[in-house]
């Protein structure tokens, strides 16, 4: 029996990409998985897929930048399960726009989705995690921001680095309640959105990675599962880079 069997796992941004891989990981481990996103059609399709496999996967449709939606999510989890073991904050956006063209509304959208909504989602679940004296929070940061930069991602990089600043103080606030908070920092991960960029783009990205290939959503899911596991019970406020060695080279490979 898996250590995650019957645990309640919430994955924000589970309708596609990395989040979808995380949903799949915990579904296979027989957890009670609730994933969050705005895309009703995609959410319903995934639920149908797991229903056929006899897995407990539920879709909660909501926009996490909307405070009411966040509160409804917390109420839903409280009423349906009465507990929450793992909260993985994976929802994020990364529009590519150079600084001269970033409008205030785009800056706000990136920071609201990637940072503010993470803060308020965790804040919303904190009373429940304190009450049960248990919780594993895993953030989805990035190598972009904390370690690297890329033209077009000033706002995105800022949001992903700020997330780590938040995490370190939160870790100290949560520690007496047996709640850990850690972050996974993915490199380039092959998702549906990236596939849309075409084969040439993916080949070029792969050349910058020492392993010669992009990561998969499951590579990231395994890192999330580590932080969510008993093996990581003495780890909090830490980061794990999952990038196929992309950060290591001193120059062009």
Ligand X SMILES: NC(=O)c1ccc[n+]([C@@H]2O[C@H](COP(=O)([O-])OP(=O)(O)OC[C@H]3O[C@@H](n4cnc5c(N)ncnc54)[C@H](OP(=O)(O)O)[C@@H]3O)[C@@H](O)[C@H]2O)c1
Distance CA(95)–CA(125), nearest Å, equals 28
- Which among 25-33, 100-108, 145-153, 182-190 is the span making contact with ligand X, rule CB under 6 A? 182-190
Examine residue 244 and tell whether it contacts ligand X (CB under 6 A): no
Examine residue 13 and tell whether it contacts ligand X (CB under 6 A): yes
Residues 84-143 that bind ligand X (CB under 6 A): 90-94, 113, 140, 142
Examine residue 23 and tell whether it contacts ligand X (CB under 6 A): no
Q: Which is nearer to ligand X, 12 or 180 (CB)?
A: 12
Examine residue 146 and tell whether it contacts ligand X (CB under 6 A): no
DSSP 251: S
Examine residue 168 and tell whether it contacts ligand X (CB under 6 A): no
Examine residue 15 and tell whether it contacts ligand X (CB under 6 A): yes
Three-state DSSP at 196 gives coil
- Strand stretches in the chain, DSSP E: 8-12, 32-37, 57-61, 86-89, 135-140, 179-186, 239-242
Note whether 14 and 88 are within 8 A (CB). Answer: no
- Which among 128-136, 168-176, 185-193, 223-231 is the span making contact with ligand X, rule CB under 6 A? 185-193
134 catalytically annotated: no
Examine residue 188 and tell whether it contacts ligand X (CB under 6 A): yes
Note whether 173 and 130 are within 8 A (CB). Answer: no
Neighbours of 217 (CB within 10 A): 23
Note whether 92 and 114 are within 8 A (CB). Answer: yes
Contact residues for 118 (Cβ-Cβ < 8 A; gap 6+)? 89, 139, 163, 166
Examine residue 57 and tell whether it contacts ligand X (CB under 6 A): no
Q: Which of 25, 50, 94, 156 is catalytic?
A: 156
The residue within the footprint of ligand X, chosen from 3, 169, 193, 211 (CB under 6 A), is: 193
Distance CA(137)–CA(45), nearest Å, equals 27
Three-state DSSP at 69 gives helix
Residues that bind ligand X (CB under 6 A): 12-19, 36-39, 42, 63-65, 90-94, 113, 140, 142, 186, 188-189, 191, 193
Positions annotated as catalytic residues are: 156
């Amino acid at each position: 029996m898996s250590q995650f069997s019957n645990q309640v796992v919430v994955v924000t941004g589970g309708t596609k990409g990395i989040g979808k891989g995380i949903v799949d990981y915990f579904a296979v481990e027989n957890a009670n998985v609730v994933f969050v996103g705005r895309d009703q059609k995609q959410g319903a399709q995934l639920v149908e897929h797991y229903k056929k496999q006899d897995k407990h996967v539920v879709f909660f449709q909501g926009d996490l930048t909307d405070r009411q939606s966040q509160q409804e999510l917390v109420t839903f989890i409280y009423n349906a399960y009465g507990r929450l073991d793992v909260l993985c904050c994976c929802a994020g956006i990364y529009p590519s726009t150079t600084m001269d063209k970033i409008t205030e509304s785009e800056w706000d959208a990136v920071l609201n989705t990637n940072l503010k909504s993470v803060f308020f989602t965790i804040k919303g679940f904190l009373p429940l995690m304190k009450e049960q004296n248990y919780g594993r929070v895993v953030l989805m940061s990035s190598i972009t921001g904390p370690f690297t930069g890329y033209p077009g991602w000033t706002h995105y990089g800022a949001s992903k680095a700020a997330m780590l600043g938040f995490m370190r103080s939160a870790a100290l606030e949560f520690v007496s309640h047996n709640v850990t908070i850690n972050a996974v920092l993915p490199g380039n991960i092959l998702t549906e959105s990236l596939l849309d960029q075409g084969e040439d783009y993916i080949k070029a990205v792969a050349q910058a990675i020492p392993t010669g290939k992009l990561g998969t959503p499951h590579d990231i899911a395994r890192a999330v599962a580590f932080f969510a596991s008993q093996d990581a019970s003495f780890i909090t406020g830490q980061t794990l880079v999952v990038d196929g060695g992309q950060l290591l080279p001193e120059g062009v490979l």
